[in-house]
Structure 1
Amino acid sequence: MSNIPRAMSKSLAHARIVLRRSSDRGHANHGWLDSYHTFSFAQYNDPKFQNFGALRVLNEDRVAPNNGFPTHPHRDAEIFSYILSGELTHRDSMVTKKGGSTANKNDFYRMHRGDVQFTTGGTGIAHSEQNEHANDEVHFLQIWVMPWRKSLPPTYHTMTFSEAAKRNGFVTIISPLQAGPKATHKEENAAIPMVEGTIPIHADFLMGASIIAKGRSASWKIGGNDAVQSKLGRKVYLHLPMRKVGAKIKLAGETELGEGDGVFVENVNAGDQLLVESVGDQEAEVVVLDSN
């Protein structure tokens, strides 16, 4: 749906909407890393916030110049980074490093705003994420999703999603692997997603993003266009990143979010529409995580 003039809208009568204020998130500032945790992570542990459907981690991170996460292992998780500003360099144990060339994203890639880097940990993978810029911090979301089965073959993808498309409505960024949980080795290698032009994930899960102009709105169709298996009782988390620009949004005509805030939306079904209105002083970049 294109951005349309802001108007009053009726909330979904059957939906349960619960705010998660930015100030209520877990927070750790290590100097080189300033990180906010929506769910239990590292030293932050809250039994009420362990996961939401398949969504397990939503960290909003800022990494100082010439710092980052050294090589570390992952397994049995779907992990992706959404770059909001700055640059983040990804290196991976699955490839041969080629001296810093950015010609091939599968060898070495310095991500910028609009880029999404996705990793299937599977049976085991190691990677590093570094801010190699001399002066500017990098601001990004790191998100983990629990896969539909363990011991998957490790892989990763990097894609760029245009600002222009996001300004015209919600853009689907991640969608389920079309072949499903019983994918063959050939189907895993083909990596065909349910939604063309998206990154395939091993979960009944969608991610979308939109940049909504002041006084405009955009609508997210839960479950996409028949992109998910679980149609009823989906769990949608909507997040307004803390970009420090004065953004503010209203969900379903009622619930207002400031920067860093999120909202849990339950008791919704595939096909339901979530209307998001930009009601702040500046455009609002909104991320939606749609899980079984």
Structure 2
Amino acid sequence: MASTLRHAKVRPHRSAARGHANHGWLDTYHSFSFANWYNPDFTHFGSLRVLNEDRVKPNSGFPTHPHRDFEIFSYILSGELTHTDSTQQKSKTKEHSSKKATDIGPEAGETENEESDLFCRVRRGDIQFTTAGTGVTHAEFNYGRTEPVHFLQIWAIPWKRGLKPRYDRGHFSDDDKRKAFVPLLSPLRGGPDATPAQEKAAEPVIPGTIAIHADFVMAAGIIAPSGKFEYTVGAKATDAAKRKVYVHLPMTKGGRAKIRLDGRNGEGVLAEGDGAFVDGVNAGDKLRVESVGDAEAEVIILDTA
């Protein structure tokens, strides 16, 4: 199929060009400069600042550490991750298709199969989200005995500093993601000038998603071999005409998944671990994604001004 976005520039970011560190308990790849790895060509893309693909071994994890003035979220690909943080608040679990919500939430002495107001366990299909704002401390741990947890850790630059910290969590089904790209995050209704009431309500522009303090949309889809999805740039969630889209194909199928963007061969074909910068696109443009490998491809879309 021929390109339909001739005005767009597609630049692949190959997996081998990512930063990589294996700490034993953590095997991590950095698409953008992070920790001890710095590459001036990969510092940020619009408001997208960090995209790490992490695997954490059983009975290990990130000890309590601080963050501030970033929007931080984790997309769970497999395994289970336990989150604790200084906000000590209940979060809401959102089912994308049915829009159900249930309270979840570790008190000392509880077993690892219980949950309380002070922690959250996230699993396949879950995304957890933290507005670090004025400052939070949190920890992420894999309490599993045998299975590593594989997830994407993503940071976005918020539209202003000094926000009130907040934690949220949503669940988005694989069944829905096998039908089309499913939006997971969208901007907070009210934007940078949101009122205190809007901040408290945390209502996103796209219903059923998690609200983020940035002109930023995240979506995910699972495309069967020979299947084709279309993503609408901007997702009808923003007034900004000029957009940037980053596409990432996680390493989930042992190298058997592969995609092609906008019908382009060469720079438009991505293998597992690869990403692509899609620049010069406008809100409303249709980005076609084809699965051209031997296994279904789980595709992550990060759409920013």
Q: How far has the Cα of 1:197 moved from its partner? A: 0.1
Q: 1:65 to 1:169 in 2, by over 3 A?
A: same
Q: Quick one: distance in 1 between partners of 2:10 and 2:151?
A: 25
Structure 1: runs of 5 or more not aligned: 1-7
Retained in 2: the 8 A contact 1:101–1:108?
Answer: no
| Alignment partner, residue 271 of structure 2 | 258
Q: Quick one: distance in 2 between partners of 1:275 and 1:34?
A: 31
Structure 2: runs of 5 or more not aligned: 90-105
Retained in 2: the 8 A contact 1:175–1:200?
Answer: yes
Q: How far has the Cα of 1:187 moved from its partner? A: 1.1
Residue identity matched to 1:207: M
Instruction: Check if 1:218 corresponds to 2:229.
Output: yes
Retained in 1: the 8 A contact 2:253–2:295?
Answer: no
Q: Report Cα offsets for 1:19-65 as digits up to 9, x if no partner.
A: 00001100011010000000000000011111000000000000011
Retained in 2: the 8 A contact 1:100–1:108?
Answer: no
Q: Report Cα offsets for 1:107-164 as digits up to 9, x if no partner.
A: 3221110000000000001111001101111100000000000000000100100011
Retained in 1: the 8 A contact 2:112–2:143?
Answer: no
Structural RMSD (CA): 1.4
**Which has the larger displacement, 101-110 or 35-44?**
101-110
| Alignment partner, residue 240 of structure 2 | 230
- 14, 20, 25: which is aligned to 1:21? 14
SS at match of 2:193: coil
Q: Quick one: distance in 2 between partners of 1:87 and 1:256?
A: 31
Q: Which runs of 4+ in 1 moved over 4 A?
A: 100-106
Retained in 2: the 8 A contact 1:71–1:128?
Answer: yes
Q: 1:103 to 1:228 in 2, by over 3 A?
A: farther
Residue identity matched to 1:263: A
Q: How far has the Cα of 1:243 moved from its partner? A: 1.0
- 29, 37, 40: which is aligned to 2:30? 37
- 140, 147, 167: which is aligned to 1:129? 140
Q: How far has the Cα of 1:263 moved from its partner? A: 0.2
Q: Quick one: distance in 2 between partners of 1:283 and 1:174?
A: 23
Q: How far has the Cα of 1:210 moved from its partner? A: 0.0
Q: 1:291 to 1:188 in 2, by over 3 A?
A: same
Q: How far has the Cα of 1:102 moved from its partner? A: 6.9
Task: State the TM-score, normalized to the length of structure 1.
Answer: 0.94
Retained in 1: the 8 A contact 2:69–2:132?
Answer: yes
Task: State the TM-score, normalized to the length of structure 2.
Answer: 0.90
| Alignment partner, residue 249 of structure 1 | 259
| Alignment partner, residue 190 of structure 1 | 201
Instruction: Check if 1:179 corresponds to 2:172.
Output: no
| Alignment partner, residue 154 of structure 1 | 165
Q: How far has the Cα of 1:105 moved from its partner? A: 7.5
| Alignment partner, residue 301 of structure 2 | 288
| Alignment partner, residue 249 of structure 2 | 240
- Aligned-pair identity (%): 56
